[in-house]
Amino acid sequence: MANDSLNMAGRAALVIGGTTGIGRATALEFAAAGARVFVAGLGKDEGRSVEAEIRKTYKVDAEFLEADVRRETDVQAVMARAIQKFGRIHAAVNNAGTEQKFGPVHETTAEEFERVIGINLRGVWLGMKYEIPHMLANGGGAIVNTASMAGVEGIANVAVYTASKHGVVGLTKASALELARSNIRVNAVAPGPVDTGLLARMIAGKIDVSVIAESVPMGRISQPAEIAKGMVWLCSDAASYVTGHTLVIDGGATIG
């Protein structure tokens, strides 16, 4: 590989929320950089498919385990199995996320609140809770959490989703400070609109995707691979002095 700082051969990466969308693209991007990849998330068929694609296309080892990030025992099992499989996890991406129903904040139900916060914020925290002790015991590592442009600005009618993603940014910053002397870097990525099932579900029947694309200064929504490249860069030696940062990848959507 021409750029050695992006070469992850000999390393292992964990992608939680890696069965579809940005997570799947990130798992493939790690494999393309030479890393062995442990994938966790919901959807057995999708997970097995990522595992098979990594092995076939990139000729590196991969394994999938189904997990619900709201369940601490699931997340604990993912980390234990990943360590058992690869011995050492050098990079971890906490990507599991969900959309919320479009509508005003006062019409959000308590159940919806618990679901969105449980997956988007508690799920990220649980990932870190089990990734960090392993990295502390093994000389360091890099963690990337998935926020959103909704983590750096307010977006009307998805207030709880916005709050969950602001929470991810805060969790990332505070954790980065705690770990800055421990050779563990913690960063976040804040994607703008991405061509995924999550976006389609979030705006279904409310806004046409072409309207969203038109609102982005670059005039289009992104592809998952465009976000994945940022994720892998943050985990690589090329980002060795970057911690506590939220990398906004949004085609200019938040600067207007």
| Active-site residue set | 161
At residue 56, what are phi and psi to the nearest 5 degrees? -75, -50
C-alpha torsion 89→93→98→102, nearest 10: 170
146 by DSSP, 3-state: which?
strand
3-class DSSP state of 186:
strand
DSSP state of 254: T
Question: Could you tell me what percentage of the chain is helix, strand and coil, using 3-state DSSP and rounding each to the nearest 5?
Answer: 50, 15, 35
Residues 6+ apart with CB under 8 A from 238: 3, 5, 6
